[in-house]
Structure 1
Amino acid sequence: MNTKAIQITYWISTALVALMMVFSAYSYFTNPEVKQGFQHVGFPDYFRIELGVAKFLGAIILLVPVKGLIKEWAYAGFTIVFISASIAHLASGDTIGHASAPLIFLVVLAVSYFAYHKGKYQTNKTI
């Protein structure tokens, strides 16, 4: 895969994840149904606020060119969030559809992560 294709893959997949995380964070603060969803899976209300802030910050970190390990932490954090969301839905008796949605975004996140590293090493600079 050439460098241009890798960068396009990176930006499309990263933008999809970041947009979803910003939308999700916004919903955590404004949508009463989301608040009920947190109660449904057994999470305390403060976790909804904490996770909303973390998702917003993580989305920004994925989109801006930063050096060091902070981008790796954002990828790791979103990986944990997606896996935990899937488990929480399954454990609370939700349908497989609810549990699979976070795993779909985990795949998109993985595409972003691998494209980021492939592009980073091919161009020798931070994307």
Structure 2
Amino acid sequence: MKRSKVIYWIATLWLSLGMVATGLVQLLRLPQEGQVSPPGTYGIVHLGMPVYILGLIGVWKMLGVAAVLAPGLALVKEWAYAGFSF
């Protein structure tokens, strides 16, 4: 049982680290968010979406990480994992 908990926490922390890193990039609206776009522009604009969506997605990612790392809250964690997968 202990081995499975260690594997769970390693995977959870790895996912959380990735979500925090990309969430910060989106919150700060760094041009690197859209690497296929010309320098100085945002890749999300090429998808036909406004730039302010980056801030919303960044906030949602941070809230999802908080939900995943919080004890209990099984239903909220389930929705956070679903949101990460979408």
TM over 0.5: yes
Residue 16 of structure 1: aligned partner: 14
Q: Which of 1 and 2 has higher RCO (CA within 8 Å, sep 6+)? A: 1
Amino acid at match of 1:51: I
Q: Does 1:78 align with 2:49?
A: no
Summarize the alignment of residues 1-127 of structure 1 with structure 2, pairs less than 5 Å apart: 3-30=1-28, 31-34=30-33, 36-80=42-86
* 33-42 vs 23-32, greater mean Cα deviation: 33-42
**Alignment CA distance shift 1:5-1:75 (3 Å):** same
TM-score by length of 1: 0.56
- Deviation (angstroms), 1:68: 4.0
Q: Return structure 1 stretches of 4+ with deviation > 3 angstroms.
A: none
In terms of fraction of residues, the more helix-rich structure is 1
Question: d(CA) in 2 for partners of 1:43 and 1:17?
Answer: 26
Which structure 1 residue ranges, 5 or more long, are not aligned? 81-127
Equivalenced residues, count:
78
Amino acid at match of 2:16: A
Question: d(CA) in 2 for partners of 1:51 and 1:34?
Answer: 12
Question: d(CA) in 2 for partners of 1:25 and 1:73?
Answer: 17
Question: Could you say what the CA RMSD is over the residues aligned between the two structures, in angstroms?
Answer: 1.5
